[in-house]
Amino acid sequence: MTDANTLNKLQQKNSEYHIEQINQANFKVYGNVLSNYDLTEVKNFFAENVSYGENGNSYNPSNQELERISVIQKIGNDIFAGMNFSAGECTGQAQSFSAVEYHQGSEVNIMLTDVVMVLGKRSQIQNSLFNAATKAKIFFIPAGTIIEMYSDTLHYSPIKVESSGFKAVVMVLQGTNQPLPVGFKSTNPWIVKKNKFQAAHATRKDKLAAGSVEGVSGKLIKLEHI
């Protein structure tokens, strides 16, 4: 199935939403599509070592085997310019935009499957709330695509396109998404981990119970897979 056919089928199943392509001008506000990187080693690594998982999502902030792959080092050098970075696998069965987050510094995603990303900008947060239903843009991102999301881009987990789930590499500045040190104190209620500013939709009772604040307002964005 071609990317165009996949997008058409996805759009038909989710007619209440407008799903955009990342080669459209609208995406440039949120990030950059990276090209001319050979992902063969990364694809082989995932095929041999990474499963989809049956329930929920799984995220490993730092996988040293993955980080040793030459193209990961090349991408990291080109984006993070000598700063230490980490790379890990993110997989799962997400179908909704149930939380929102951002980091200080870009995040790179390498999509090993077709996915959907729901994106916004920090400037759209009003009174500590982001109304994703009215402010966010929804993008279809084909397998094999590498994207850089800018520091002020609001995002969350990829959303699966196929019933089997999604697989992606996440690259961030080293330390990002790791546990906060014991005794850490801040007046910013969005801080949930190192360099991870996150808030949840009211439907995410688990996150709210764990200490996340409610920061995604409006109707929950939920997509049906093809």
What ranges do the domains of the chain cover? 3-175+186-217
- Angle, helices 40-49/70-80, rounded to nearest 10 degrees: 120
Q: Mean pLDDT for the chain?
A: 97
Structure tokens, 86: 């980490």
Cβ proximity of 136 and 120 under 8 Å: yes
How many other C-beta atoms lie within 10 A of the C-beta of residue 62? 17
Quick one: average pLDDT of 63-91?
Answer: 98
How many Å apart are CA 122 and CA 95, to the nearest integer? Answer: 23
Quick one: average pLDDT of 54-80?
Answer: 97
H or E, element range at 200: strand 196-201
Q: In 3D, which of 108, 96, 98, 27 has the Cα closest to residue 66?
A: 108
Residue 110 in 3-state DSSP?
Answer: strand
Instruction: Indicate whether 1 pLDDT > 70.
Output: no
Quick one: average pLDDT of 138-146?
Answer: 98
pLDDT, one tens digit per residue, over 146-177 is 999 999 999 999 999 999 999 999 999 999 99
User: Is the sign of the CA dihedral 69, 71, 75, 81 positive or negative?
Assistant: positive
Fold of 3-175+186-217: Jelly Rolls (2.60.120)
35 φψ region: left (φ > 0), alpha (ψ -120 to 50), beta (else): beta
Quick one: average pLDDT of 190-200?
Answer: 98
- Which value, to the nearest 10 degrees, does the dihedral of the CA atoms of residues 20, 35, 173, 197 take? 0
Q: In 3D, which of 92, 31, 104, 100 has the Cα closest to residue 60?
A: 92
Residue 154 in 3-state DSSP?
Answer: strand
- pTM score of the predicted model: 0.96
Instruction: Output the pLDDT for position 86.
Output: 99
| CB environment 188-222: b (16+ within 10 A), e (fewer) | eebbbbbbbbbbbbeebeebeeeebbbbbbeeebe
Instruction: Output the pLDDT for position 53.
Output: 84
Q: In 3D, which of 76, 74, 221 has the Cα closest to residue 157?
A: 221
Instruction: Indicate whether 2 pLDDT > 80.
Output: no
Cβ proximity of 34 and 72 under 8 Å: no
How many Å apart are CA 145 and CA 147, to the nearest integer? Answer: 6
